[in-house]
Amino acid sequence: MAPRVLVSDKLSETAVQIFRDRGVEVDFQPNLGKDKDKLLEVIDQYDGLAIRSATKVTEKIIAAASRLKVVGRAGIGVDNVDIPAASKKGIIVMNTPFGNSITTAEHAIAMIFAVARQIPAADASTQAGKWEKSRFMGVEVTGKTLGVVGCGNIGSIVAQRGVGLRMRVIAFDPFLSQERATQLGIEKVELDDLFKRADFITLHTPMTDKTRGMINKDALAQMKDGVRIVNCARGGLIVEADLAEALKSGKVAGAGIDVFETEPATESPLFGIENVVCTPHLGASTTEAQENVALQVAEQMADYLTRGAVSNAINMPSITAEEAPILTPFVKLAECLGAFAGQVTEEAISSVEIVYDGLVSDMNTKALTSAVLAGLIRSQVADVNMVSAPIMARERGIQITEAKRDKSGVFDSFIKLTVVTEKQTRSVAGTVFSDGKPRFIQIKGINIDAEIGEHMVYTTNNDAPGIIGLLGTVFGKAGVNIANFQLGRNRPGGDAIALLYVDSPVSNEVLDEVRAHKEILSAKPLKFDIPPVA
Ligand SMILES: NC(=O)C1=CN([C@@H]2O[C@H](COP(=O)(O)OP(=O)(O)OC[C@H]3O[C@@H](n4cnc5c(N)ncnc54)[C@H](O)[C@@H]3O)[C@@H](O)[C@H]2O)C=CC1
Ligand SMILES: O=C(O)C(=O)COP(=O)(O)O
């Protein structure tokens, strides 16, 4: 069945065409996102949800989204998506981090000029027939200090444009390196220094707990008298009531506001104040940017839903469309290794070590580690995948270490998983053969070569005669057909293991018969997410 996507915000129709061309069914309902009850009602019919900022993907929506695999944000900010809730449910959240950045930077520059020259008010007055030439005295931007708060994709474009306008550009961003600042031709400063020196301040940080309300009474008090402030990032960065007061007192000479604490903003303390220029979250609204983000989000979502490729995901490592086919068998192997360890481990896991040996060490090991963890945790929690597994592992306090090694044995590639609990340390290793099938090659340090099937039985025993006969007889009597039987031991008469690939599940009663034998130490039924051979 073709995957189904709902477009619930105003995306360019380019997205619809791309979804269809790539075999994805699409419902284009650009106003539906604003109706949260309607969205709640229909969301369980979709594998993907494509949005802008109007649709709020809340915990409640996510809880109702039984089929949802991916949320695609045609734009940058994902503060309208409950990412922790999506991750816990295994839903990938992706955005398009560059498609609208030039456009948004241009809007910030437009706001700087609009505020410096009071263009909107002058326009309204002129068109009202007033010709108030002396009312609208502006300021030049050349030679003024532009303070950029948040110098990422958009902030650095604004900074470059500011340099082009012959402004002195200073920037505060904890992650801005000195080299990057030099390359941009700007000065890296601390925030209080920026507040003291800037004639214009423009905000370009994401909305986080740290940045929420960063422009408040105290911050405003540190600023130059007559400062002008532009916000084309997120409304919550500014305490609107504090800014309104500072504008009224003349401390702040003007403000260009594209984004609001509450959107749609139908009222605001900033409305009606002289020299406040407002736009209704238009930062990304150009034909070029909307084409870019619609095309990109549709490609990314379709690639994920039809080919398993992951790009620009906020909550999952990227997997390119080219690497997806090579990686897929190793993802399966990683899941099986995790699933093996998860099913044989009954105590709480304290740490996990994953070694990538040979060619696999050059692959996307972040994704493979997520797959190991998904397999490991699935034995306890059914509803887990590569997105949610790392979070669940962290919540359970499991320490994870990942090591990469050059080829160290006969296999071109193998993955070895070691799981440590309070009581013991267990290890299992596996590889993928040229047929693309995963195999276990070592358990507890004992070499083995076992194809992995949907139903398996794992026994540990003392190496003694009669074990093969015992298993064959007991399973035969119970009508369980053995497809593959693999044995291994550390030394003659030492520790031995057996892995049986069986055509149907083996009941506990049957296994009890096996367990009753004096040389058998344990017998466990195992299940792997491998389709049965037809
Ligand atoms: N008005 C609109 O229509 C649009 C608004 N946006 C918003 O613009 C903002 C910036 O987007 P991008 O530049 O693409 O993001 P980005 O992630 O490339 O850059 C953000 C920068 O902020 C920095 N930062 C984080 N915390 C900070 C703090 N406490 N103080 C100073 N800097 C801090 C980060 O280090 C990063 O360099 C986002 O909030 C995004 O949602 C984006 C597109 C359109
Ligand atoms: O990309 C972003 O972060 C934006 O804020 C753009 O929002 P929009 O897609 O225009 O609703």
Is 283 part of a structural domain of the chain? no
Mean pLDDT score, 188-211 = 95
Is 72 part of a structural domain of the chain? yes
Pocket test for ligand 1, best of 100, 180, 205, 231 (most atoms within 8 A of CB): 205
Q: Is 156 in the pocket of ligand 2 (CB under 6 A)?
A: no
Mean pLDDT score, 166-172 = 98
Mean pLDDT score, 519-528 = 94
Q: How many CA atoms lie within 13 A of 185 on its CB side?
A: 13
Looking at residue 474, which CATH number applies to its domain?
3.30.70.260
- Asked if ipTM goes beyond 0.95, one says yes
- Same domain, residue pair 240 and 194: yes
Mean pLDDT score, 163-177 = 94
- Same domain, residue pair 168 and 60: no
Total of domains in the chain: 4
The atom of ligand 2 lying closest to the CA of 52 is 9
Given a cut of 80, whether residue 411 has pLDDT beyond it is yes
Please, which pLDDT band fits residue 174 given cuts at 50, 70 and 90? confident
Please, which pLDDT band fits residue 395 given cuts at 50, 70 and 90? confident
Question: Is residue 234 flagged as an active site residue?
Answer: yes
How much helix, strand and coil, in percent to the nearest 5, is found in the chain?
Answer: 35, 25, 40
How far is the C-alpha of 477 from the C-alpha of 240, rounded, in Å? 78
Mean pLDDT score, 146-169 = 97
- Same domain, residue pair 126 and 71: no
CA of 283 to the centre of ligand 2 (A): 7
Query: 364 φ, ψ to 5°?
Result: -80, 85
Mean pLDDT score, 58-82 = 96
Pocket test for ligand 2, best of 98, 100, 295 (most atoms within 8 A of CB): 100
- Same domain, residue pair 363 and 466: no
- Same domain, residue pair 31 and 45: yes
pLDDT in tens, 86-117: 988 889 999 999 999 999 999 999 999 999 99
- CB atoms closer than 10 angstroms to residue 418: 16
Is 180 part of a structural domain of the chain? yes
Among 410, 443, 476, the domain boundary falls at 443
Is 362 part of a structural domain of the chain? yes
CA angle, corner 504, sides to 486 and 348, nearest 5? 70
pLDDT in tens, 413-426: 999 999 999 888 99
Given a cut of 70, whether residue 534 has pLDDT beyond it is no
Q: Is 286 in the pocket of ligand 2 (CB under 6 A)?
A: no
Is 328 part of a structural domain of the chain? yes
Residue labelled with tokens 């929420």:
212
Looking at residue 25, which CATH number applies to its domain?
3.40.50.720
What is the structure's pLDDT at 396?
Answer: 87
- What is the CB < 6 Å shell around ligand 1? 75-77, 97, 100-101, 104, 149-155, 172-175, 204-207, 210-211, 232-234, 258-259, 281, 283-284
- Same domain, residue pair 123 and 265: yes
How far is the C-alpha of 83 from the C-alpha of 62, rounded, in Å? 10
How far is the C-alpha of 34 from the C-alpha of 16, rounded, in Å? 19
pLDDT in tens, 142-151: 999 999 999 9
CA angle, corner 178, sides to 172 and 181, nearest 5? 65
Residues whose CB falls within 8 Å of the CB of residue 429, separated by 6 or more in sequence, listed in order? 337, 414, 415, 416, 417, 440, 441, 442, 443
- Same domain, residue pair 334 and 475: no
Mean pLDDT score, 289-306 = 97
**Helices 101-117 and 119-127: angle between axes, nearest 10 degrees:** 60
- Same domain, residue pair 113 and 238: yes
Of 511, 509, 513, whose CA–CA distance to 525 is shortest? 511
Q: Is 75 in the pocket of ligand 2 (CB under 6 A)?
A: yes
Given a cut of 70, whether residue 533 has pLDDT beyond it is no
What is the structure's pLDDT at 532?
Answer: 63
Mean pLDDT score, 50-70 = 97
- 223, β-bridge pairs: none
- Same domain, residue pair 134 and 221: yes
Domain extent, residue 22, equals 4-98+288-309
The atom of ligand 2 lying closest to the CA of 74 is 9
What is the structure's pLDDT at 218?
Answer: 98
CA of 520 to the centre of ligand 1 (A): 61
Peptide bond into 264 cis (omega under 30): yes
Looking at residue 392, which CATH number applies to its domain?
3.30.1330.90
pLDDT in tens, 454-463: 999 999 999 9
Question: Which member of 25, 263, 291, 519 is catalytic?
Answer: 263
- Same domain, residue pair 184 and 52: no
CA of 143 to the centre of ligand 1 (A): 25
pTM of the model: 0.82
Mean pLDDT score, 165-190 = 94
Question: Is residue 281 flagged as an active site residue?
Answer: yes
CA of 293 to the centre of ligand 2 (A): 10
- Same domain, residue pair 438 and 498: no
Among 405, 423, 443, the domain boundary falls at 443
Is 213 part of a structural domain of the chain? yes
Provide the token pair at 257: 């506001």
CA of 32 to the centre of ligand 1 (A): 27
Residues whose CB falls within 8 Å of the CB of residue 430, separated by 6 or more in sequence, listed in order? 333, 336, 337, 414, 415, 438, 439, 440, 441, 442, 452
User: Is the Cα torsion angle 49, 50, 54, 56 positive or negative in sign?
Assistant: positive
- Same domain, residue pair 461 and 529: yes
